[in-house]
Amino acid sequence: MKLTILFGGASFEHEISIVSAITLKEKLSGFDVSFIFCDESHLFYLIEPSKMKATTFSKSEYKKMPQLSISNGGFIQKSMFSSSIHQGVVLNLIHGADGEDGTVASLLDFFSIKYIGPRVDASVFSYDKRYTKYLCNAKDIKSVEYEVLTSNEHANINTPYPIIIKPARLGSSIGVSIVRDESELDYALDSAFEFDSNVLVEPFIEGVKEYNLAGCMVDGTMIFSIVEEPQKNEFLDFEKKYMDFSRSEQVLKADISDELESKLKANFEKIYRGMFEGSLIRCDFFVVDGEVLLNEINPIPGSMANYLFEDFKTTIESLAQSLPSQNKAKVSYEYIHSISSAKGK
Amino acid sequence: MKLTILFGGASFEHEISIVSAITLKEKLSGFDVSFIFCDESHLFYLIEPSKMKATTFSKSEYKKMPQLSISNGGFIQKSMFSSSIHQGVVLNLIHGADGEDGTVASLLDFFSIKYIGPRVDASVFSYDKRYTKYLCNAKDIKSVEYEVLTSNEHANINTPYPIIIKPARLGSSIGVSIVRDESELDYALDSAFEFDSNVLVEPFIEGVKEYNLAGCMVDGTMIFSIVEEPQKNEFLDFEKKYMDFSRSEQVLKADISDELESKLKANFEKIYRGMFEGSLIRCDFFVVDGEVLLNEINPIPGSMANYLFEDFKTTIESLAQSLPSQNKAKVSYEYIHSISSAKGK
C-alpha cells in the first residue's frame, strides 16, 4: 500500500510529530511510505526514508532535500526542466497546531488530496477543549465538570481543590498542572496562560480510573483497538509523553468487565459518528462510580496509537480505502444567465 | 487603502459571491482594490477591475486572465521569466462552502496572509446551524428550539406545524421550506436532504419580528451598523436573496426602542467576542414576546452588509488595521537535542 506521512508543522508538538513519524516508519514497514515534512515556515520537503531520524530535522539537514509545493491533487516537486506530482493518500501526522486545529484538514480538502485524519469540523471540536465540552453537552456524553478562565484571576475559580489547570488548545500535557491549594495556583495559571488565552479548570479526581480506546470507522462499521489502562505517575508530563509518542510495542488489554468495555465503546462511537469519519482517533475516558466520562479526544494520537491495535497495518489499510468523499458543489450560472437574458444582453 | 477581494469558490453560492464582489467594487471606489477569483476547480485568477462583470465568469472569459498560486505571504503570478507576489490584506468574500466553512480561513492562515473574514473556529460554528445552536447553549444566548434529522423520516419530527426545514450547512435560503402540514413535508425534506445529510427542523413563528444587525470589533471595541427590519414576503427565497446580495443603497433604521436596540447589540457582542475577531458579520435576530432570539450568523454577509453602515469604507479600513495576529508556535528541538546528547550522539 502507498501512503504519504505528513509531519512536522509550526506547533509546540513539532518534535513529537517527528518522533511519531519515525515510529510509524518502523510500524508500517512493507508499505510504500513517503515522508513529507512541513517545517516551521510552512515549507514542505520530501524526506528520503533512510534520512528519517531526529537529527535530519534538529540539524536542519532537511533543507537540502527536495522542496515541494501543495497543488490540486498532490504535492509538486519541480526540478530544472520538469515537475512531478506526489499523489496518493496522506496520513496527517502533524500533532497540535496546524495538524489538529483544522488547518491541514482544510488545506488537503481544498487541494482535493485524500487523507487519513480529522476533517475541519472534527478538528475544531477536538482541538479546543471548550468545544469538546460543547459537543459532549449536545450529544449527551458525560464529561468532567469545568470552568473557563480568560484571565489570571483566582477569584473566578469556583471548583474546590485539588484542581487541574489546562490551556484550552494544547495537547501532550503542555501547560497542564495539578493544583492542590491556592499557593500553587499562580504558577499553574501563569504556565497555562503562556500557551492560551483560555484556560480550563476541572476538579482533579484523585485515583480516578483511566482508560484509553482508539478506533476508526470503515464502511460504516467501527473498528476498535484494545482498551488500555495507561500507567501513570499522576499524569504524564511533556517529557514522559514525548517518550510515549515513540511507543511501538503492543500493550496489554486492561482487565475490565465486558460491560465496561461495551460502555466505553458505545461512548466512543457516539463521539465518532457524524464527526470523525476518515480519522483514527484515541479517546481517553475516566470511570467514576461506574460512570464513563470523556476526558479528551486525540484526533491524531501519538504514533497513531499503533500499540493499541492487534493488526495496525490492516486497520490503516482499510481506513485508507474508506475515506469520506468530498462533495464539491457543482457551480452553475443559471441566475446570471437568466438575469442577463432578462436585460436583453 | 489596498485590499484584495477573494470571491467565487466551489459552492452553491458561487454566483452570489460574484454579485457581492461586483457590488463591493462600486462601494469601495477610491480604495486600491484587486480581485482574485477562485473558480470551481480551485484555481485562482487575477481579474482586471474593468472586467468585473457577470459575463466574465458565466462565459469563462476569466480563464484568459493571469493565473495565480497561493504561497507564503500572498498570491504568486508567474510569467515567462519572472514572478511577482500579490500581498496585502484579503477580504474573504466567498459565500457558503470554501469561504464560510473554514477552508479559506485555514488556507490564508497557513500561508500567513492577513484577511478580513471569520477564522476557522468561527467558520465552523456559524456554517453548520447545529453548531451555532451548540454555541448558543454554551454562551447562554437564546435561539429558536430545534430538532436534527439525519434521514427523511416524518416520524422523527416532534415540533408542531407550521415548521421550517433547513439543510444544516447552507446559507442564502437554499433548500429551506416552510411546511404548514404533513402534505408538504415530503417535498420539503427531499429539497433539504438534497443539500445536506443533516436537516434542522424549527417551529415557524408566524409574524415574528425580525431584525438584522451587522458589526465588527476594532481595537477591542464593537462597531455596529444600524438595525434593519428586513422586508419579507414570509422569507426570502434564493432568487430574491440573490438580488439582495447586490444591495448597495443604505437602508432605513428600524423603528425600535433604545432598550431593544441595546438588547440586540448585547446579544451580538456575546456571540462575536472571543470567536469572530477579524470578521464583519451580520446576525439575524427574532424578537418573540420582547425576548431576543438568535436566528442565524452570517460570517460573510452578502456584499458585506454595506447597506447597513453609515460609513462602510471607514469601517472596512479600520477593521483591516485591527486584524488578529497569528501566534505561530516557535519550534525548538530541545527534547531531540537532550535525547541525542544523552545517547552520546
CATH of the domain at B9: 3.40.50.20
Closest by CA to B117, choosing from B68, B108, B75, B27, is B108
Beta strands in chain A (DSSP E): 2-8, 32-38, 44-47, 67-71, 74-78, 83-86, 90-92, 115-116, 147-149, 163-167, 177-179, 199-203, 209-218, 221-228, 281-288, 291-298
pLDDT digits (tens, 9 = 90+) for A173-213: 788 999 999 999 999 999 999 988 899 999 999 889 999 99
pLDDT above 70 coverage of chain A, percent: 92
Chain B: give the shortest CA distance to residue A258, in Å: 31
Same domain, B260 and B135: yes
Neighbouring residues of B192: CB distance < 8 A, sequence distance ≥ 6: B165, B166, B167, B175, B176, B177, B199
pLDDT of residue B173: 75
Query: Mutating which of A22, A110, A270 best tests the B interface, going by the most B Cβ atoms within 10 A?
Result: A110
Same domain, B105 and B235: no
What is the mean pLDDT of the segment spanning B94-113? 97
pLDDT of residue A345: 43
**Closest residue of A to B39, CA-based?**
A331
The answer, yes or no, to whether the previous bond of B66 is cis (omega within 30 of 0) is no
Same domain, A12 and A77: yes
* Inter-chain residue contact A103 with B110, CB threshold 8 Å: yes
Instruction: Report which of residues A290 and A80 the model is more confident about.
Output: A290
pLDDT of residue A335: 77
Confidence of residue B166 (pLDDT cuts 50, 70, 90): very high
Asked if pLDDT for residue A241 goes beyond 90, the answer is no
Domain boundary among A183, A203, A223: A203
CA distances from B267 to A72, B72, B148, B215 (A): 41, 37, 24, 12
Say if residue A101 is exposed, middle or buried (CB neighbours under 10 Å; 0-12, 13-18, 19+): buried
pLDDT above 90 coverage of chain B, percent: 78
| Backbone φ and ψ of A133, nearest 5° | -65, -40
pLDDT of residue B345: 43
**Residue B298, in any domain of the structure:** yes
End-to-end CA distance of chain B: 55
Helix (H, G, I), strand (E, B) or coil at B4: strand
Q: Give the single-character DSSP code of B268.
A: H
pLDDT digits (tens, 9 = 90+) for B202-212: 999 988 999 99
**Residue B263, in any domain of the structure:** yes
pLDDT of residue A292: 97
Domain residue limits at A156 = 147-203
Domain boundary among A180, A203, A226: A203
Confidence of residue A341 (pLDDT cuts 50, 70, 90): low
pLDDT of residue B332: 82
* Inter-chain residue contact B133 with A138, CB threshold 8 Å: yes
Half-sphere exposure of A35 (CA within 13 A, CB side): 26
**Residue B15, in any domain of the structure:** yes
Neighbouring residues of A248: CB distance < 8 A, sequence distance ≥ 6: A23, A26, A27, A303, A306, A307
Same domain, B51 and B107: yes
Cβ contacts of A12 on chain B, cutoff 8 Å: 329
Range from B36-45, B163-172, B314-323 carrying the lowest mean pLDDT: B163-172
**Residue B22, in any domain of the structure:** yes
Distance between CA A308 and CA A310 in Å, rounded?
7
* Inter-chain residue contact B336 with A54, CB threshold 8 Å: yes
* Inter-chain residue contact A109 with B103, CB threshold 8 Å: yes
CA distances from A84 to A42, A75, A87, A112 (A): 20, 8, 9, 17
Distance between CA B255 and CA B228 in Å, rounded?
9
Chain A: give the shortest CA distance to residue B121, in Å: 6
Residue type, B12: F
Domain boundary among B203, B225, B248: B203
Cβ contacts of B107 on chain A, cutoff 8 Å: 106-107, 110
Helix (H, G, I), strand (E, B) or coil at A112: coil
Neighbouring residues of A203: CB distance < 8 A, sequence distance ≥ 6: A144, A145, A159, A160, A162, A163, A164
Q: B68 forms bridges with which residues in the sheet?
A: B44, B77
Evaluate whether A264 touches A285 at the Cβ level (below 8 Å): yes
For β-strands B2-8 and B32-38, DSSP reports them as parallel
Closest by CA to B297, choosing from B147, B121, B123, is B123
CA distances from A322 to A32, A114, A115, A216, B150 (A): 19, 10, 10, 10, 21
| Closest partner CB to A242 (pick from B106, B332, B335) | B335
Same domain, A279 and A138: yes
Q: How many CB pairs below 8 A link A and B? A: 162
For β-strands A147-149 and A199-203, DSSP reports them as antiparallel
Evaluate whether B326 touches B278 at the Cβ level (below 8 Å): no
Residue type, A23: T
Same domain, A218 and A88: no
Distance between CA A11 and CA A97 in Å, rounded?
5
Asked if pLDDT for residue A316 goes beyond 50, the answer is yes
pLDDT digits (tens, 9 = 90+) for A91-101: 999 999 999 99
Same domain, B252 and B275: yes
Chain A: give the shortest CA distance to residue B311, in Å: 29
The overall average pLDDT reported for chain B is 91
* Domain total of chain B: 3
* Polymer length of chain A: 345
Instruction: Report which of residues A247 and A39 the model is more confident about.
Output: A39
Distance between CA B265 and CA A68 in Å, rounded?
48
Same domain, A164 and A250: no
Q: Among the ranges A166-175, A251-260, B321-330, which has the highest mean pLDDT value?
A: A251-260
What is the mean pLDDT of the segment spanning B7-18? 94
Owner of C-alpha cell 508530563: A237
Distance between CA B303 and CA B97 in Å, rounded?
16
Distance between CA A26 and CA A32 in Å, rounded?
12
Distance between CA A50 and CA A68 in Å, rounded?
18
Range from A243-257, A293-307, B79-93, B319-333 carrying the lowest mean pLDDT: A243-257
Same domain, A298 and A228: yes
**Residue A185, in any domain of the structure:** yes
| Long-range Cβ contact pairs of B133-137 (< 8 A, separation 24 or more) | B133/A138, B134/A134, B134/A135, B134/A137, B134/A138, B135/A134, B135/B271, B135/B275, B136/B294, B137/A134, B137/A137, B137/A138
* Inter-chain residue contact B333 with A131, CB threshold 8 Å: no
CA distances from A313 to A86, A316, A318, B26, B116 (A): 22, 5, 9, 57, 44
What are the grid coordinates assigned to A47, written together? Answer: 524526506
**Residue A338, in any domain of the structure:** no
Evaluate whether B123 touches B109 at the Cβ level (below 8 Å): no
Helix (H, G, I), strand (E, B) or coil at A92: strand
Asked if pLDDT for residue B334 goes beyond 90, the answer is no
Burial annotation B134-165 (CB, 10 A radius, 16+ → b, else e): bbbebeebebbebeebeeeeeeebebeeebbb
Which run of H or E residues covers position B67? Answer: strand B67-71
Same domain, A242 and A130: yes
CA-CA-CA-CA dihedral for A261, A267, A273, A275, to nearest 10: -130
pLDDT of residue A28: 96
Cβ contacts of B120 on chain A, cutoff 8 Å: 101-103, 106, 120, 124
Confidence of residue B85 (pLDDT cuts 50, 70, 90): very high
Asked if pLDDT for residue A238 goes beyond 60, the answer is no
What is the CATH number for A308? 3.30.470.20
Same domain, A23 and A84: yes
**Residue B339, in any domain of the structure:** no
pLDDT of residue A280: 98
What are the grid coordinates assigned to A297, written together? Answer: 479526544
What are the grid coordinates assigned to A312, written together? Answer: 495496525
Q: Give the single-character DSSP code of B300.
A: S
Owner of C-alpha cell 496520513: A91
Same domain, A267 and A130: yes
pLDDT digits (tens, 9 = 90+) for A40-50: 999 999 999 99
Asked if pLDDT for residue B247 goes beyond 80, the answer is no
**Residue B281, in any domain of the structure:** yes
Asked if pLDDT for residue B171 goes beyond 70, the answer is no
What is the mean pLDDT of the segment spanning A236-259? 75
**Closest residue of A to B54, CA-based?**
A336
